Amino acid sequence: MATLEIRDLHVNVLTDDAPKEILRGVDLTIAGNETHAIMGPNGSGKSTLAYSLAGHPKYQVTSGTVTLDGEDVLAMTVDERARAGLFLAMQYPVEVPGVSTSNFLRTAATAVRGQAPAIRTWVKEVNAAMADLEIDPVFSERSVNEGFSGGEKKRHEILQLALLKPKIAVLDETDSGLDVDALRIVSDGVNRYKAASAEAGEAVGIMLITHYTRILRYITPDRVHVFAGGRVVESGGPELAEELETNGYVRFTGVGAGA
Ligand code: ADP
Ligand code: MG
Ligand code: MG
C-alpha cells in the first residue's frame, strides 16, 4: 500500500513583492486505505499545501521533505508525480480553451499509464464513469472546464480520479459550491473509487481538504487534522470534526470561526 509522507514542510508563495512564508512545518502521513480530512479556516494554507504537492511553480519549498513510497516527490516533475500515483483535484480547476474534455482525459490517462489506452475499452470506461457521475455525454466534446458550472467542474475532477486511478488523491474543497444533490454524486464517486481501488488491491489514500464538515457525512474520515497558521495543529478521529462543527475554529485561531 502507498504512503505519502510530508515532513516539516516549509513553503513560500512567490508574490510580486517579497516571498511570503505560508507553510510553517507541515507533518502528515497518509497511507493507502486511509482517508484524512484536513480542516481549517480560510487563509490557513490548505490550498498552498495542495499546490506545493502539485509542483506549482509559484510555491517554493524552502525546507522539509515529501516522499511517496520513499521516492522524493519534490524532485519530480509534474508529470512524474502523476505517474508515481499522485492525483490532485484543485479548489479552482483551470479552464483549457480549445482542448476537448475527451482529448484531455485520454492524454492524461496516456501520461499516467505510460501508453495510450486501447480506444474501444477506453470509450467504454469513460462512458461508464461519466454515467456514474451523471455527466451528460455532450461534455466530452466541450473544452475542459470552459463555461462549466462549479458543480460540473467538481464532477469532472472526480471523473479524472476514476479514470487515472491514483494511489494517493488530494481533493481540495471538492465540496465547495455544491448543492446537496451534487455533493452526493461527487461523494458517491469518491467512495466508489475507494472501494474499486481496494478491490484491485491498491486501496487509495485520500487527503480531503475542506473548510466545512458537511462532506464528512458522506465520506467518512479515519483521521481529522486541524490546519491553522500553515501547519497541522491538532489531529484526532472523526469526533474532532464534530467538535469543529459545534465550535468552529475559534480554539485554534483565537479570532473567530474563520471567514
Ligand atoms: P486556504 O486554502 O486555507 O484558504 P491558501 O493556501 O489559499 O489558504 O492561502 C494561504 C495564505 O497564502 C493566504 O494568506 C493567501 O492570501 C496567501 N496566498 C496564497 N496564494 C497566494 C499567491 N499566489 N499570492 C499571494 N498570496 C497568496
Ligand atoms: Mg481559501
Ligand atoms: Mg483553499
Residue 94 confidence (pLDDT): 86
Residues 6+ apart with CB under 8 A from 26: 6, 8, 9, 49, 64, 230, 231, 232
- Which CATH number do you get for residue 155? 3.40.50.300
3-state secondary structure the chain: CCEEEEEEEEEEECCCCCCEEEEEEEEEEEECCCEEEEECCCCCCHHHHHHHHHCCCCEEEEEEEEEECCEEHHHCCHHHHHHHCEEEECCCCCCEEEEEHHHHHHHHHHHHHCCCCCHHHHHHHHHHHHHHCCCCHHHHHCEECCCCCHHHHHHHHHHHHHHHCCCEEEEECCCCCCCHHHHHHHHHHHHHHHHHHHHCCCCCEEEEEECCCHHHHCCCCCEEEEEECCEEEEEECHHHHHHHHHHCCHHHHCCCCCC
From ligand 3's centre to the CA of 108, what distance in Å? 24
Q: Whose CA is nearest to atom 16 of ligand 1?
A: 43
From ligand 1's centre to the CA of 196, what distance in Å? 34
Residue 258 confidence (pLDDT): 44
State which residues form the domain around 55: 3-258
What's the pLDDT band for 209 if we cut at 50, 70, 90? Answer: very high
- On whether ipTM exceeds 0.90, the answer is yes
From ligand 3's centre to the CA of 125, what distance in Å? 31
- Global pTM? 0.94
Nearest-5° angle of CA 249, CA 41, CA 225? 75
Q: Is the pLDDT score of 164 beyond 50?
A: yes
Q: Is the pLDDT score of 125 beyond 70?
A: yes
Ligand 1 pocket test target in 17, 20, 58 with most atoms within 8 Å of CB: 20
Instruction: Cell numbers for 102, please give them.
Output: 475527451
Average pLDDT value for the chain: 94
> What is the spatial distance between Cα 72 and Cα 67, in angstroms, rounded to a whole number?
5
| Ligand with smallest separation from the Cα of 90 | 3
Q: Whose CA is nearest to atom 6 of ligand 1?
A: 45
Residue 177 confidence (pLDDT): 86
Taking the CA of residue 41 as reference, the ligand 1 atom at the shortest distance is: 3
What's the pLDDT band for 45 if we cut at 50, 70, 90? Answer: very high
From ligand 1's centre to the CA of 173, what distance in Å? 14
Residues 112-124 have a mean pLDDT of 93
Residues 217-226 have a mean pLDDT of 97
Residues 4-30 have a mean pLDDT of 96
Taking the CA of residue 172 as reference, the ligand 1 atom at the shortest distance is: 2
Q: Which of 20-24, 42-46, 50-54, 255-259 has the lowest mean pLDDT?
A: 255-259
How many structural domains does the chain have? 1
Residue 257 confidence (pLDDT): 44
Taking the CA of residue 44 as reference, the ligand 1 atom at the shortest distance is: 3
Q: Which residues line ligand 1 (CB under 6 A)?
A: 13, 15, 22, 40, 42-48, 58
Residues 194-213 have a mean pLDDT of 96
> What is the spatial distance between Cα 29 and Cα 26, in angstroms, rounded to a whole number?
10
Q: Which of 116, 109, 29 is nearest to 66 (CA)?
A: 29
From ligand 2's centre to the CA of 48, what distance in Å? 9
From ligand 2's centre to the CA of 43, what distance in Å? 5
What's the pLDDT band for 254 if we cut at 50, 70, 90? Answer: low
Summarize pLDDT for 52-93 with one digit per residue, the tens: 999 999 999 999 999 999 999 999 999 999 999 999 999 888
Q: Whose CA is nearest to atom 25 of ligand 1?
A: 15
- Which of left, alpha, beta for 112 (phi over 0: left; psi -120 to 50: alpha)? alpha
Residue 256 confidence (pLDDT): 45
What's the pLDDT band for 255 if we cut at 50, 70, 90? Answer: low
From ligand 3's centre to the CA of 49, what distance in Å? 9
Residues 232-237 have a mean pLDDT of 97
Tally of residues, the chain: 259
Ligand 1 pocket test target in 13, 58, 227 with most atoms within 8 Å of CB: 13
